[in-house]
Structure 1
Amino acid sequence: MTLNTERDAKETLRRRASTPIPSRTRDPGCESGPRALGHPALGHSASYQPGDPTVRSRAHWSSDSEDSDSSGSECLYRVVLLGDHGVGKSSLAGIFAGIVGEKDANDHLGEDTYERTLTVDGEETTLIVMDTWETEKQEEDEKWVQDYCMQVGNAYVIVYSITDRSSFESASELRIQLRRMRQAENIPIILVGNKSDLVRCREVAVEEGRACAVVFDCKFIETSASLHHNVHELFEGIVRQIRLRRDSKETNERRRSIYKRKESITKKARRFLDRLVARNNKKMALKVRSKSCHDLSVL
Structure 2
Amino acid sequence: MMLYKLVILGDRSVGKTYDPFTEESYRKQVIIDDNPCVLEILDAGAEDIFLYYQWIRDGEGFLIMYSISSRSTFERVEQFHDQIIRVKENEPVPIMLVGNKCDKITEREVSREEGMDMARKLRCDFIESSAKTAVNVERAFYGVVKMIRQNREGGKDSRRNRKKVRCVIL
TM-score in terms of structure 2 length:
0.83
Query: Please, which of 81, 85, 90 is the counterpart of residue 8 of structure 2?
Result: 81
Preserved contact between residue 151 and residue 182 of structure 1 (Cα < 8 Å): yes
Tell me how far apart the structure 1 counterparts of residues 71 and 40 of structure 2 sit (CA, whole Å): 29
Tell me how far apart the structure 2 counterparts of residues 110 and 189 of structure 1 sit (CA, whole Å): 23
Preserved contact between residue 194 and residue 222 of structure 1 (Cα < 8 Å): yes
Report the CA distance between 1:184 and its aligned residue.
3.3
SS of 1:89 mapped into structure 2: coil
**Residue deviations 1:32-63 (CA, integer Å, cap 9, x gap):** xxxxxxxxxxxxxxxxxxxxxxxxxxxxxxxx
Q: Taking CA–CA contacts closer than 8 Å with sequence separation of 6 or more, which of the two structures ends up with the larger relative contact order?
A: 2
Corresponding residue for residue 42 of structure 1: none
1:218 aligns with 2:145: no
1:112 aligns with 2:24: yes
In structure 2, stretches of 5+ residues that fail to align are 158-170
Q: CA-atom RMSD, angstroms?
A: 2.1
Query: Please, which of 35, 41, 45 is the counterpart of residue 129 of structure 1?
Result: 41
Corresponding residue for residue 82 of structure 2: 176
Alignment of 1:138-217 (within 5 A): 142-217=48-123
Alignment of 1:10-159 (within 5 A): 74-91=1-18, 109=21, 111-134=23-46, 142-159=48-65
Tell me how far apart the structure 2 counterparts of residues 227 and 126 of structure 1 sit (CA, whole Å): 23
Corresponding residue for residue 44 of structure 1: none
Go from structure 1 to structure 2 and tell me whether the alpha carbon gap of 1:248 and 1:177 turns closer, same or farther (over 3 Å shift): closer
In structure 1, stretches of 5+ residues that fail to align are 1-73, 95-104, 252-299
Preserved contact between residue 125 and residue 239 of structure 1 (Cα < 8 Å): no
Higher Rg of the two aligned structures: 1
Tell me how far apart the structure 1 counterparts of residues 154 and 86 of structure 2 sit (CA, whole Å): 27
SS of 2:13 mapped into structure 1: coil
SS of 1:124 mapped into structure 2: strand
Report the CA distance between 1:143 and its aligned residue.
3.1
Aligned residues: 156
TM-score in terms of structure 1 length:
0.49
The one-letter code of the counterpart of 1:187 is V
The one-letter code of the counterpart of 1:129 is I
Instruction: Report runs of 4+ in structure 1 exceeding 3 Å deviation.
Output: none
Report the CA distance between 1:150 and its aligned residue.
2.1
Corresponding residue for residue 99 of structure 1: none
Structure holding more strand per residue: 2
